[in-house]
Chains A and B, each alone.
Chain A
Amino acid sequence: MGEPIVRVRLDELLKERGMTLTELSHRVEITVVNLSILKNGHAKAIRFSTLARLCQALGCQPGDLLTYE
């Protein structure tokens, strides 16, 4: 059995809002590289400030962005 992980649902939320990663990158002022790391599940941790900016840009709650699998 694999180790349980927290997944960032960035892909789904971007699709729902018809937004690209580059556009989100400009809005939250985080590089596309770092957003890709988040999106692909390679990040080890996320700052509250990053989470807040993402929620603000995507108009969602932290719970919509993160899922536990």
Chain B
Amino acid sequence: MPTRWITRLETLLTYALVLGCLTALAAGLLYLLMWAPGVATGLLALSTLVRALRRARAGDRALFSATTADHLRRIGWILIAGSLASAALGMVAEAALAAMLLTESYPFYPPSSALLWAVVAGFAALGVSEIVRRGLALLQEVEATI
């Protein structure tokens, strides 16, 4: 008879262990969701910026070109879309994680101010891109004036 109890206890402990592992895994994933999309957005924007700067070092005409305008526009949209998506994912993940780990939690956690600044930087990049694009059109017109 004692062996039956031991078997039941073993099964119970196994279930508890699996449940604990799954909870830890879910918590880890939620924690990852809180910061990974923001970091990925930042890295993507940074790599595009590095590419644009590397190309712009070739000279003034390379800096003031349609490619630079395209790079800036891409950076702008990466920052805006990436930050908004990161903020949404982060808020959901943080609320779920808090509900899972804390005895008292809130349904809404505001995103960090860094994400707000990233959106502002995105709009700034879009603005500079438009300035370069229009300036380029003016430059081409001036160059075609004899």
Binding site for B on A (CB under 8 A): 30, 34-35, 37-38, 42-47, 50
Q: Which of B141, B144, B145, B146 has most chain A Cβ within 10 Å? A: B146
- B90 CB to nearest chain A CB (Å): 51
Q: Which residues of B contact A30 (CB under 8 A)?
A: 146
- CB nearest to A46 among chain B residues: B146
CA distance A45 to B141 in the complex (A): 8
- B135 CB to nearest chain A CB (Å): 16
Binding site for A on B (CB under 8 A): 141, 144-146
Show 6 A/B contacts (Cβ-Cβ < 8 Å), sorted by A.
A37-B144, A42-B144, A45-B144, A45-B146, A46-B146, A50-B146
CA distance A43 to B144 in the complex (A): 5
- B144 CB to nearest chain A CB (Å): 4
Q: Which residues of A contact B146 (CB under 8 A)?
A: 30, 34-35, 37-38, 43, 45-47, 50
CA distance A34 to B144 in the complex (A): 9
CA distance A18 to B19 in the complex (A): 98
- B131 CB to nearest chain A CB (Å): 21
- B140 CB to nearest chain A CB (Å): 8
Q: Which residues of A contact B145 (CB under 8 A)?
A: 43-47
CA distance A42 to B144 in the complex (A): 8
For the complex of A and B, list the 8 residue pairs with the smallest distance between their C-beta atoms, beginning with the closest: A44-B144, A45-B145, A43-B146, A34-B146, A38-B146, A46-B146, A50-B146, A44-B141
For the complex with contacts A35-B146, A47-B146, 18 further pairs of A-B residues with Cβ separation under 8 Å are: A30-B146, A34-B146, A37-B144, A37-B146, A42-B144, A43-B144, A43-B145, A43-B146, A44-B141, A44-B144, A44-B145, A45-B141, A45-B144, A45-B145, A45-B146, A46-B145, A47-B145, A50-B146
Q: Which residues of B contact A47 (CB under 8 A)?
A: 145-146
CA distance A38 to B146 in the complex (A): 7
